[in-house]
């Protein structure tokens, strides 16, 4: 039995249609004003917060996740890299190897993958140059609210809604 589903062509057509749409108002004019207000609103929302290093995240990455990954890399014969960018509060854990094999009763790989995927903000698994390549991306910070622009944000939101209704 062979079961197949094909969605790529449908998704590519939908993406092409979305990218070709022109955002215009009822008079045929671009909605640049709405986009400008949306960008300003987004900037205000973000500027309320400051990124603060998450010690718990760093401790978990350095004390738990990386040692597990290093043990797996040693057993599997792969390469492992942990890159921490402290200014940006981001981290990336990369594994490249010929294979990843999990045997019955050995939960080391499974436990690591569950922990890494749960902790990561994004991850990718791919075949790259005939190797298994895994990447886990982490944001190792907490957002702390420093200022309150709620009123300004609400005013911008109302202006955007009004422009989109006209």
Q: Residue 36: inside a domain, yes or no?
A: no
Q: Residue 3: inside a domain, yes or no?
A: no
Of the two residues 93 and 140, the one the predictor is more confident about is 93
What pLDDT is recorded for position 161? Answer: 77
Mean predicted confidence (pLDDT) in 149-166: 80
Q: Residue 153: inside a domain, yes or no?
A: no
Q: Residue 56: inside a domain, yes or no?
A: yes
Residue 137 has pLDDT above 90, yes or no: yes
Q: Residue 44: inside a domain, yes or no?
A: no
What pLDDT is recorded for position 150? Answer: 87
User: How many domains is the chain built from?
Assistant: 1
The three-state (H, E, C) secondary structure of the chain, written as one string: CCCCCCCHHHHHHHHHHHHHCCCECCCCCECHHHHHHHHHHHHHHHHCEEEEECHHHHHHHHHHHHHHHHHHHHHHCCEEEEEEECCCCEEEEEEEECCCCCCCCCCHHHHHHHHHHHHCCEEEEEEECCEEEEEEEEECEEEEECCCCHHHHHHHHHHHHHHHHC
Report the CATH number that the domain containing residue 114 is assigned in CATH.
3.30.1360
Q: Residue 95: inside a domain, yes or no?
A: yes
> pTM above 0.85?
no
Q: Residue 129: inside a domain, yes or no?
A: yes
Q: Residue 134: inside a domain, yes or no?
A: yes
Residue 21 has pLDDT above 60, yes or no: no
- Structural domain boundaries enclosing 132: 52-143
């Amino acid at each position: 039995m062979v079961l197949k589903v094909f969605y790529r062509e449908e998704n590519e057509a939908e993406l092409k249609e979305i990218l070709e749409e022109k955002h215009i108002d009822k008079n045929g004019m671009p909605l640049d004003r709405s986009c400008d207000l949306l960008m300003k609103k987004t900037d205000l929302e973000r500027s309320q917060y400051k990124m603060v290093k998450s010690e718990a995240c760093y401790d978990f990455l350095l004390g738990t996740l990386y040692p597990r990954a290093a043990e797996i890399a040693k057993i599997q014969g792969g390469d492992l890299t942990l890159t921490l960018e402290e200014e940006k509060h981001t981290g990336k854990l990369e594994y490249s190897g010929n294979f990843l094999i999990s045997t019955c009763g050995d939960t080391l790989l499974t436990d690591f993958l569950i922990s890494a995927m749960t902790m990561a903000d994004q991850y990718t698994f791919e075949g790259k140059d005939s190797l298994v390549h895994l990447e886990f991306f982490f944001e190792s910070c907490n957002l702390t609210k420093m200022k309150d622009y709620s009123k300004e944000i609400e005013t911008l939101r109302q202006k955007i809604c009004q422009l989109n209704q006209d």
